[in-house]
Amino acid sequence: MIITIPGGAGFMGAGIVRDLISDRAIIDIKKIRICDTSRSRMEALVAELGDARLEIFDLDVTDPARLAAAITGADICMNCVPTLAGYQMVIFEAAFAARVPYVDLGGLGIYTVKQIAEHERFKAAGMTAVTGVGADPGMSNVICRAVADELDEIDRINLYWAAELVGDENPVLVPPYSISTVLAEYAHPSTQFLDGRHMICDPMTGVEVLDLPEPWGRCEFMYSPHSEQLTVPLADGIAEKGIREFTWKLHLPHREHEAWVGLVKAGFGDLDATVEVGGVQVKPLDVLSKVIQRNIEKNGHRIPEQQSHEIHFAIGHGRKDGLPRTVRCDVIVTPDPMYDGFVDACTSMNASIAAQLILKYPKKPGVYAPEGYFDAATYFPELEKRKFRIIKTIK
């Protein structure tokens, strides 16, 4: 198998490569083509990992010929170019033209509806694409599938993700993932499925406080723009069960949450805005990104050892055999030496799982969200192999 990864030297792409070359692989991988704009990052990654199957490919996604060459001949294209860079549909279409199965990390669902709309075209061509195959979206969609499969009728499914850091207070703001993604989650309206239809909700609304086990404790969740609520309530095996509500809510570590709220209040949530400084037009987002990165590099010695704990869970309410039933499925990710070297092991490992499952089993032509392509019975053992703890309760 040949796997090509546009954006393969970035944080998420590099993590995917780490998982693909591990002993957790369930397919025979002959080559991994790391495609990126930064040769230095690619060379550093290959030197660190020291695996002969790794190949470097200089990629400019704005060059159609280079993009086609990066994808052609691969068994799957894993698009890790940041969603907000704006090239997702370009790479999606390039994979179709090269007749190569496609996956991406999905991000905020900006392109999800456009991609799903191409389902019949991909199906007719015998082509496969699965959008949003990281942790959230990705694993979270499969969690919802596991919940839905335990219900004959569904009133609502509510999906949550919470992260907490354990250790000394960090005097340096370290983003949990892309700065633009975090700011968008806090500053942009979201689409939620309420009263049987999609509705636009204001940023940071839908506040809900839940008491979770330690180390999360009392968590304040809020609506956030994501792709799960765009696809899960419309999926086969879920929509026909009468679902009337589906929401996705976020909780970031308490002190970091305050920082992101403050930045949005200061105007950094307007991601495309420019301002004039000294006669030069600059994007506040670009300035913020450089300042945060400089601060991390300058004060790296002040960053304490912290352990990240994540909990992803969905709660479904409905009926089974005519009787009321509540189903909850949790996936808990706690620190483990297996995750050393990963910036976000949960996202990278789930993308690796999705790609390998697509390649291992007969492909389903069309464009799918994860809940429409994967089943929990096949997917969850791969999570457990990576030491993600799964808890399902039925009442």
Instruction: Please state which CATH number belongs to domain 2-135+344-385.
Output: 3.40.50.720
Instruction: Give the residue-averaged pLDDT of 272-292.
Output: 93
Chain region(s) in the chain for CATH 3.40.50.720: 2-135+344-385
Residue 79 to residue 218: CA distance in whole angstroms:
36
Angle (nearest 5°) at CA 131 between 128 and 135: 130
Q: DSSP 3-state assignment of 354?
A: helix
Q: Place 109 in a pLDDT band, splitting at 50, 70 and 90.
A: confident
Q: Place 178 in a pLDDT band, splitting at 50, 70 and 90.
A: confident
Interval 196-228: pLDDT, tens: 999 999 999 999 999 999 999 999 999 999 999
Q: Please answer whether residues 39 and 56 qualify as being in contact, where contact means their C-beta atoms are separated by less than 8 angstroms.
A: yes
User: Does residue 290 surpass a pLDDT of 90?
Assistant: yes
Instruction: Please state which CATH number belongs to domain 139-341+387-394.
Output: 3.30.360.10
Q: Place 382 in a pLDDT band, splitting at 50, 70 and 90.
A: very high
Q: Please answer whether residues 103 and 131 qualify as being in contact, where contact means their C-beta atoms are separated by less than 8 angstroms.
A: yes
Instruction: Give the residue-averaged pLDDT of 119-140.
Output: 97
In this prediction, residue 369 carries a pLDDT of: 97
Q: Place 85 in a pLDDT band, splitting at 50, 70 and 90.
A: confident
Q: Please answer whether residues 94 and 71 qualify as being in contact, where contact means their C-beta atoms are separated by less than 8 angstroms.
A: yes
Interval 86-107: pLDDT, tens: 899 999 999 999 999 999 998 7
In this prediction, residue 247 carries a pLDDT of: 98
Interval 249-274: pLDDT, tens: 999 998 899 999 999 999 999 998 99
Instruction: Give the residue-averaged pLDDT of 144-172.
Output: 96
Q: Please answer whether residues 64 and 83 qualify as being in contact, where contact means their C-beta atoms are separated by less than 8 angstroms.
A: no
Q: Please answer whether residues 50 and 44 qualify as being in contact, where contact means their C-beta atoms are separated by less than 8 angstroms.
A: no
Q: Please answer whether residues 254 and 162 qualify as being in contact, where contact means their C-beta atoms are separated by less than 8 angstroms.
A: no
Tokens of 14: 């590099």
User: Does residue 108 surpass a pLDDT of 90?
Assistant: no
Q: What is the DSSP annotation of 30-47?
A: -EEEEEES-HHHHHHHHH
Secondary element (H or E) of residue 287: helix 284-298
Taking each helix axis as running N to C, give the angle between helix 345-360 and helix 11-20, from 0 to 180 degrees, rounded to the nearest 10: 50
Give the dihedral of Cα atoms 199, 204, 205, 210; nearest 10 deg.
120
Residue 35 to residue 79: CA distance in whole angstroms:
10
In this prediction, residue 359 carries a pLDDT of: 98
- Give residue 393's identity as a one-letter amino acid code: T
Please report the beta strands in the chain, taking only residues with DSSP state E, as ranges in sequence order.
Answer: 2-6, 31-36, 54-58, 76-79, 102-104, 128-130, 153-167, 190-194, 197-201, 208-211, 218-223, 245-251, 275-277, 280-282, 306-320, 323-333, 366-368, 389-394
Chain region(s) in the chain for CATH 3.30.360.10: 139-341+387-394
What is the distance, to the nearest Å, from the Cα of residue 2 to the centroid of all Cα atoms in its chain? 23
Pairing of strands 54-58, 128-130: unpaired
Residue 46 to residue 53: CA distance in whole angstroms:
10
Q: What is the DSSP annotation of 112-148?
A: HHHHHTTHHHHHHTT-EEE---BTTTBHHHHHHHHHH
Q: Place 181 in a pLDDT band, splitting at 50, 70 and 90.
A: confident
Q: Please answer whether residues 233 and 286 qualify as being in contact, where contact means their C-beta atoms are separated by less than 8 angstroms.
A: no
